[in-house]
């Protein structure tokens, strides 16, 4: 099966989605399962994991409702306040939803790059394992050092780095990002998504040749068994259509064995999220 490990749904609201700036105005509209289903039929995608885009429990419930009504949504990564003193009770509640696979916090927007190492946040992360929930790490390169400390603290917790740690491809920033990605990849509990790379490059002028060194480093570091294909739809539409986004990855991994390609394009996502 070909599974998209990373996409979003939303009913657009200007205030809620203020992060969608003028350069991204093409995605200032609703994106719902009926829209994505057509895209997946065209691109031969069998299913997906829906990822939170808003930091509310209502967002988690919204995605779970969509997943219940649409079989192609195989899993949900929602949001809870991991710092909440009643986090165990909250996670116990959500453990009853079979399609809820894990959680994510938009760490990239936190001013404190050590936000993920605060005691209350760490307490929340420590509670995830009890319920077999995964954790998606969404960060910028300057937060990779804190992420390395986080994943080392919890060797039995399953983590995945979203969008390859969001390297600054447009600015050709590579060495500092690469060094920390290599260190993080040594942790057997950490996976990495080949997703969201085109929007870290120049939206209008990116090339595969520009992005490939970053994808190659991720492949060399994590290996084909710990990389997940993801589109980041509809955010990817800012830098091209779904087909181009998928082809960037499929063309890059075409040099690998058929087994490795199958793993990256779906098998690893099924394994990581227990779909």
Strands of the chain, DSSP E? 3-7, 47-51, 73-78, 100-105, 134-137, 159-161, 190-194, 227-229
Q: In the prediction, which pLDDT does 23 show?
A: 87
Burial of 168: CB neighbours in 10 Å, binned 0-12, 13-18, 19+: middle
The pLDDT-based confidence of 15 (bands split at 50, 70, 90) is: confident
Could you give the CA distance from residue 241 to residue 138 in angstroms, rounded to a whole number?
23
Classify the C-alpha dihedral 245-247-250-253 as positive or negative: negative
Residue 118 DSSP code: S
Residues contacting residue 85 through CB under 8 Å, at least 6 positions apart: none
* Over residues 250-259, mean pLDDT: 98
For the stretch 214-247, pLDDT in tens is 999 999 999 999 999 999 999 999 999 999 999 9
The pLDDT-based confidence of 11 (bands split at 50, 70, 90) is: very high
Could you give the CA distance from residue 169 to residue 199 in angstroms, rounded to a whole number?
9
* Over residues 176-189, mean pLDDT: 98
DSSP codes of every residue in 45-96: --EEEEE--SSSHHHHHHHHHHHHH-TTEEEEEE---TT-TTHHHHHHHHTT
Q: Please give the C-alpha separations between residue 159 and each of 27, 102, 144, 154, 202, in angstroms, as whole numbers.
A: 28, 10, 13, 9, 28
Phi then psi dihedrals of residue 105, to 5 deg: -120, 145
Could you give the CA distance from residue 37 to residue 54 in angstroms, rounded to a whole number?
22
Could you give the CA distance from residue 97 to residue 133 in angstroms, rounded to a whole number?
11
End-to-end CA distance of the chain: 11
For the stretch 20-41, pLDDT in tens is 998 899 999 999 999 999 999 9
Q: Identify the H or E element spanning 223.
A: none
The pLDDT-based confidence of 14 (bands split at 50, 70, 90) is: confident
Peptide bond into 234 cis (omega under 30): yes
Residues contacting residue 33 through CB under 8 Å, at least 6 positions apart: 9, 66, 69, 70, 72, 73
Phi then psi dihedrals of residue 195, to 5 deg: -155, 160
Q: In the prediction, which pLDDT does 60 show?
A: 98
Residues contacting residue 86 through CB under 8 Å, at least 6 positions apart: none
pLDDT for 191 beyond 90: yes
Residue 175 DSSP code: H
pLDDT > 70 in the chain, percent: 100
Q: Which two tokens stand for residue 21?
A: 């700036």
Q: In the prediction, which pLDDT does 16 show?
A: 87
* Domains, the chain: 3-273 (3.20.20.140)
* Mean pLDDT for all residues in the chain: 97
Residue 222, number of CB atoms within 10 A of its CB: 23
Q: Which two tokens stand for residue 265?
A: 């394009």
For the stretch 111-141, pLDDT in tens is 999 999 999 999 999 999 999 999 999 999 9
* Over residues 239-264, mean pLDDT: 97
**226 vs 13, which has greater pLDDT?**
226
Phi then psi dihedrals of residue 83, to 5 deg: -85, -10
For the stretch 53-89, pLDDT in tens is 999 999 999 999 999 999 999 999 999 999 999 999 9
Q: In the prediction, which pLDDT does 66 show?
A: 98
């Amino acid at each position: 099966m070909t599974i998209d490990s990373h996409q979003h749904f939303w009913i657009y609201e200007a205030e809620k989605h203020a992060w969608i700036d003028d350069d991204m105005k093409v995605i200032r509209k609703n994106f719902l399962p009926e829209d994505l289903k057509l895209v997946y039929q065209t691109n031969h995608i069998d299913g997906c994991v829906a990822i939170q885009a808003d930091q509310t429990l209502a967002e988690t419930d919204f995605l779970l409702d969509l997943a219940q009504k649409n079989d192609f949504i195989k899993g949900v990564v929602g949001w809870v306040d991991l710092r909440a003193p009643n986090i165990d009770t909250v996670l116990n509640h959500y453990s009853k939803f079979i399609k809820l696979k894990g959680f994510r916090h938009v760490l990239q927007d936190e001013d404190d790059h050590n936000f993920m190492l605060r005691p209350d946040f760490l307490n929340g992360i420590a509670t995830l394992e009890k319920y077999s929930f995964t954790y998606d790490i969404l960060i910028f390169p300057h937060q990779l050092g804190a992420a390395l400390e986080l994943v080392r603290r919890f060797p039995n917790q399953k983590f995945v780095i979203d969008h390859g740690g969001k390297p600054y491809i447009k600015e050709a920033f590579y060495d500092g990002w690469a060094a920390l990605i290599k260190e993080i990849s040594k942790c057997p509990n950490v996976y990495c998504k080949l997703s969201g790379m085109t929007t870290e490059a120049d939206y209008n002028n990116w090339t595969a040749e520009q992005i490939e060194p970053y994808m190659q480093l991720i492949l060399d570091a994590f290996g084909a068994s710990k990389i997940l294909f993801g589109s980041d739809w509809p955010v990817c539409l800012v830098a091209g259509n779904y087909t181009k986004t998928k082809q960037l990855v499929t063309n890059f991994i075409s040099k690998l064995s058929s087994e490795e390609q199958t793993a990256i394009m779906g098998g690893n996502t099924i394994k990581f999220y227990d779909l």
